[in-house]
DNA sequence: CTGAAAGCGCTTACAG
DNA sequence: CTGAAAGCGCTTACAG
């Protein structure tokens, strides 16, 4: 592979001049410039980014450590992060922690070894010492979605409180009173916050959240299934299961069907994190939707601000409730009768986005 | 950040000795070794991978260019690729081409500039000249899933022919005769191959594939919707729509529902590429399943073989048919009656994997 | 076993 | 405007 020396030789100039042309340095004669450019084209020369990084001490690369790539929420987040990063001239390397602290550590370490310019993290558990050390040592860092309290790192996230309140209002309006939640890991902020928001909203309606109606999940489908089975085994099972993320909702759906029960007739189901597939499940699932793409973009902007010496900003964006059919007919729905599944399906999915009736 | 010089100073040895300790070079006295290790720990030293790469001319990094991260098939592929790469001591940088040739080019270029040790590609269109030049210039490369004929690059992919034949047998057995396909881009191998396999299988049953029943999609949901609308507008619409990938199948499902039609009663639906969500759609979708994880791992092994000087091997793995309810009751099913949706649902999803009845 | 030195491919003050 | 030279942080023949 041709190096800058080859180009210099071919163009009959020094490597310094080649470098200047390549970096658009103003003081280069137009004659030298054309000769260099010609040589570059002739040799198919491409600057070695590794060498450039070593010299300039910047890699134009961002690290993104997420907790589970297979979760569509994080896939979409990753996608929007890459998009915005690319627009700003950065590449991104994704590390998938798979909800495993050791893997999270592995990726943080690898990313740091590669001297990425900044790190975007959605911490899996309380966050590793490694990560916190890096933040303290001055590695530009921004938390997305999940964060770690008490650390001097900007946070870009969604606030689901009012959407969860809307959800509880919706459920209450449907006459539902026994509401249960499948929680995420308490060590994650999203895990604990969603339970808190739910409990607070219930309290506003004079409802409580008994321990029996609080199941401990880990954001993966299997835990949703397990917890739901526990709920169904209760002498008095809940009327609604609210899963703190989309994968656990799917597990819950499996568990419910495995008993031969129907959603929403026998038990209602709702989820935190809306994903395109929820329009297509049977029935379509009511969910709290985060502005995922916007979160990813805002996180990148905050991180790049930090990297390039501008003051970074924490951002909190509102989530919103998307009502579908998994909790029963909304009292505000125009169809007063218990419609047949078929009719409702057809009506509810004229266009997938049109299905999203936000709460007033 | 501490450099090797700092460690050397702290340990009272030369940088050469530090380097030897770090790289497990045998000829280091145990005294020197312990002093270096102590210094490394004291300073929290981590070798700079950029500098190391420049010197050794290897980055221990693989590039993976896929056509669409939001497609669960590719997400899973990416995940398995990263897993196997990690096991072999490599990192992977993912580039999402979003089915756009220009983006594919962007990522190939960026990856090459970063001097990745090898490239895993699922080409978006016919493949860019850039990519082919790189392959010819000796960049270790392996195609996964899609490939480009006539290039000296190992291919790791699934063969769907027999699964597609099983699908057609299944449909034929259900009495269906008017079968249509939503094709992928003809420029991609998977786009053209799947149509060919379908046509061949139809021929075995004395059925033809008229032009009107061949719609041109682009592997994205929206195209599935559009093509399906065209099918439904036909004077004699097909009885079955087979989508060449999972996203187009979802688009088809939308289009069908938008007309107030039911699957499978009014029209049957099947897809290439099985994904976890297909168990949860209404109805669960019959699909041709690729051994995605195995493909990803095999691709990495082939690439690393190539990188490390061993002869790489092309691999073709069989896909298999997974029958669900979107084409109607299988004639081999035990329930002879037209079961109510509810009962079937409950019975069919006792466990999500138990639903997968492979064709005999 | 150990260290001084060269060199990977760049960028960038410095001098002219 | 241009080039010689230093240096980024490593690894590795070479000499001892």
Domain CATH code at residue B123: 3.40.50.2300
A104 belongs to a structural domain: yes
B322 belongs to a structural domain: no
Are residues B104 and B190 part of one domain? no
A35 belongs to a structural domain: yes
Task: State the pLDDT confidence band at A337, using cuts at 50, 70 and 90.
Answer: very low
Q: What are A218-247's pLDDT values in tens digits?
A: 999 999 999 999 999 999 999 999 999 999
Region for B322 from its dihedrals, namely left if φ exceeds 0, alpha if ψ lies in -120 to 50, beta otherwise:
beta
A78 belongs to a structural domain: yes
- Give the nearest chain A residue to B262 (CA atoms): A342
The answer to whether A85 CB sits below 7 Å from nucleic acid chain C is no
Contact (CB, 8 A) for B123 and B131: yes
> In angstroms, what separates the C-alpha of B70 from chain A's closest C-alpha?
6
Q: What are A152-161's pLDDT values in tens digits?
A: 899 999 999 9
Instruction: Report CA(A144)–C1'(D2) in Å, whole number.
Output: 48
For the segment 220-259 of chain B, residues whose CB is within 7 A of strand D: none
Query: Comparing C-alpha atoms, which of A140, A48, A103 is closest to residue B111?
Result: A48
Q: What is the pLDDT of residue B153?
A: 94
Average pLDDT over residues B313-328: 95
Task: State the pLDDT confidence band at B355, using cuts at 50, 70 and 90.
Answer: very low
Residues from chain B contacting residue A44 (CB–CB below 8 Å): 133
Task: State the pLDDT confidence band at A128, using cuts at 50, 70 and 90.
Answer: confident
Asked if A69's CB is within 8 angstroms of B44's CB, the reply is no
- Give the nearest chain B residue to A246 (CA atoms): B277
Contact (CB, 8 A) for B140 and B119: yes
Q: How far apart are CA A118 and CA A92, in angstroms?
A: 10
Place of tokens 């993104």: A64
Instruction: Report CA(B34)–C1'(D15) in Å, whole number.
Output: 26
Contact (CB, 8 A) for B321 and B286: yes
**What are the structure tokens assigned to B254, written together?**
């939308």
Asked if B277's CB is within 8 angstroms of A112's CB, the reply is no
Q: How far apart are CA B271 and CA A302, in angstroms?
A: 41
Best of B247, B259, B342, B344 to disrupt the A interface (most A CBs within 10 Å) is: B342
Are residues A232 and A136 part of one domain? no
**What are the structure tokens assigned to B349, written together?**
């999803």
Are residues A195 and A146 part of one domain? no
Nearest by CB to B79, from A70, A79, A276: name it: A70
Are residues B204 and B235 part of one domain? yes
Torsion of Cα atoms, A232 then A235 then A238 then A241, to 10°: -20
Are residues B43 and B24 part of one domain? yes
Residues from chain B contacting residue A254 (CB–CB below 8 Å): 279-280, 349, 351-352
Domain CATH code at residue B9: 1.10.260.40
Q: What is the pLDDT of residue B126?
A: 74
Tally of CB atoms within 10 A around A75:
24
Place of tokens 């260019």: B65
Asked if A281's CB is within 8 angstroms of B282's CB, the reply is yes
pTM for the predicted model, two decimal places = 0.89
Q: Is any Cβ of chain A less than 8 angstroms from the Cβ of B186?
A: no
Summary count for chain B: helices (H), strands (E): 13, 13
A303 belongs to a structural domain: yes
Are residues B262 and B175 part of one domain? yes
Q: How far apart are CA A216 and CA B9, in angstroms?
A: 51
Region for B342 from its dihedrals, namely left if φ exceeds 0, alpha if ψ lies in -120 to 50, beta otherwise:
alpha
CA atoms within 13 A on the CB side of A301: 11
- Give the nearest chain A residue to B59 (CA atoms): A50
The answer to whether B3 CB sits below 7 Å from nucleic acid chain D is yes
Nearest protein residue to nucleotide C11 (CA to C1' distance) is: A55
Say if strands A286-289 and A268-272 run parallel, antiparallel, or are unpaired. Answer: parallel
Are residues B254 and B191 part of one domain? yes
Which residues constitute the domain of residue A267?
Answer: 161-289+330-358
- C-alpha gyration radius of chain B: 26
Contact (CB, 8 A) for B182 and B223: yes
Q: What is the pLDDT of residue A335?
A: 37
- C-alpha gyration radius of chain A: 26
Instruction: Report CA(A16)–C1'(C4) in Å, whole number.
Output: 28
Q: What is the pLDDT of residue A150?
A: 86
Contact (CB, 8 A) for B145 and B120: no
Say if strands B240-243 and B268-272 run parallel, antiparallel, or are unpaired. Answer: parallel
Residues 6+ positions from B172 with CB-CB distance below 8 Å: B205, B207
Q: What are B6-48's pLDDT values in tens digits?
A: 999 999 999 999 999 999 999 899 999 999 999 999 999 999 9
For the segment 23-82 of chain B, residues whose CB is within 7 A of strand C: 26-29, 31-32, 51, 54-55, 57
Are residues B149 and B165 part of one domain? no
Nucleotide nearest to A52 (CA to C1'): C10
Q: What are A187-224's pLDDT values in tens digits?
A: 899 999 999 999 999 999 999 999 999 999 999 999 99
Q: Which of A58-67, A69-78, A330-339, A347-356 has the lowest mean pLDDT?
A: A347-356
> The sheet that has A268-272: what strands, in order across it?
A214-216, A179-183, A240-243, A268-272, A286-289, A320-323, A357-358
Q: How far apart are CA A88 and CA A91, in angstroms?
A: 9
**What are the structure tokens assigned to B249, written together?**
């199948």
Measure Cα distances from A297 to A6, A61, A143, A308, B65 in Å: 40, 15, 13, 16, 22
Are residues A225 and A110 part of one domain? no
A262 belongs to a structural domain: yes
> Which residues, numbered 54 to 73 in chain B, qualify as contacts with chain A under a Cβ-Cβ cut-off of 8 Å?
54, 59, 69-70, 72
Q: How far apart are CA A86 and CA B200, in angstroms?
A: 43
The answer to whether A32 CB sits below 7 Å from nucleic acid chain D is yes
Q: Considering all CA atoms of chain B, what is the largest pairwise distance in Å, rounded to the nearest integer? A: 87
- Give the nearest chain B residue to A259 (CA atoms): B346
Higher pLDDT, A21 or B282: A21
Helix (H) or strand (E) holding B228: helix B221-233
Q: What is the pLDDT of residue B330?
A: 60
B203 belongs to a structural domain: yes
Asked if B277's CB is within 8 angstroms of A282's CB, the reply is no
Are residues B182 and B80 part of one domain? no
Express as a percent the part of chain B with pLDDT over 70: 91
Work out how many domains chain A is built from and give that number: 3
Are residues A212 and A246 part of one domain? yes
Written as one string, the DSSP assignment of A174-220 is TT---EEEEE--TTSHHHHHHHHHHHHHHHHTT----GGGEEE--SS
Are residues A297 and A285 part of one domain? no
Q: How far apart are CA A85 and CA B106, in angstroms?
A: 13
Contact (CB, 8 A) for A137 and A157: no
B325 belongs to a structural domain: no
Count of positions (residues) in chain B? 360
Q: What is the pLDDT of residue A330?
A: 60
Is residue A343's pLDDT more than 60?
A: no
Written as one string, the DSSP assignment of B332-360 is T-S--S---HHHHHHHHTSSTTTT-EE--
Nucleotide nearest to A6 (CA to C1'): C9
């Amino acid at each position: 592979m041709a190096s800058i020396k080859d180009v210099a030789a071919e163009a009959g100039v020094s490597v310094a001049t080649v470098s200047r042309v390549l970096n658009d340095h103003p003081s280069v004669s137009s004659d030298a410039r054309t000769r260099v450019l010609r040589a570059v084209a002739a040799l198919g020369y491409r600057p070695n980014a590794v060498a450039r990084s070593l010299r300039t001490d910047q890699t134009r690369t961002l690290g993104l450590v997420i907790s589970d790539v297979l979760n569509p929420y994080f896939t979409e987040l990753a996608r929007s992060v890459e998009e915005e990063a690319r627009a700003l001239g950065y590449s991104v390397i994704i590390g998938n922690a798979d909800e495993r602290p050791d893997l999270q550590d592995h990726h943080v370490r690898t990313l740091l070894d590669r001297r990425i310019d900044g790190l975007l993290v959605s911490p899996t558990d309380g966050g590793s010492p490694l990560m916190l050390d890096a933040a303290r040592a001055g590695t530009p860092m921004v938390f997305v979605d999940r964060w770690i309290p008490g650390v001097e790192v900007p946070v870009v996230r969604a606030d689901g409180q009012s959407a969860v309140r809307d959800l509880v209002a919706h459920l209450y309006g449907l006459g539902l009173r026994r509401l249960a939640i499948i929680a995420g890991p308490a060590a994650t902020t999203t895990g604990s916050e969603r339970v808190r928001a739910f409990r607070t909203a219930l309290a506003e309606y004079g409802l409580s959240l008994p321990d029996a109606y609080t199941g401990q999940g880990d954001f993966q489908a299997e835990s949703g299934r397990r917890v739901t089975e526990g709920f169904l085994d209760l002498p008095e099972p809940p009327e609604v299961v609210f899963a703190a993320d989309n994968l656990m909702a799917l597990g819950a759906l499996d568990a419910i069907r495995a008993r031969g029960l129907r959603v929403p007739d026998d038990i209602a189901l709702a989820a935190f994190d809306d994903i395109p597939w929820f329009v297509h499940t049977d029935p379509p699932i009511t969910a709290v939707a985060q502005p995922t793409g916007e979160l990813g973009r805002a996180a990148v902007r905050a991180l790049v601000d930090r990297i390039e010496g501008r003051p970074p900003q924490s951002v909190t964006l509102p989530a919103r409730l998307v009502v579908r059919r998994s909790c029963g007919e909304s009292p505000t729905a125009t169809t007063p009768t218990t419609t047949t599944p078929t009719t409702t399906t057809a009506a509810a999915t004229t266009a997938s986005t049109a299905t999203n009736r936000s709460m007033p």
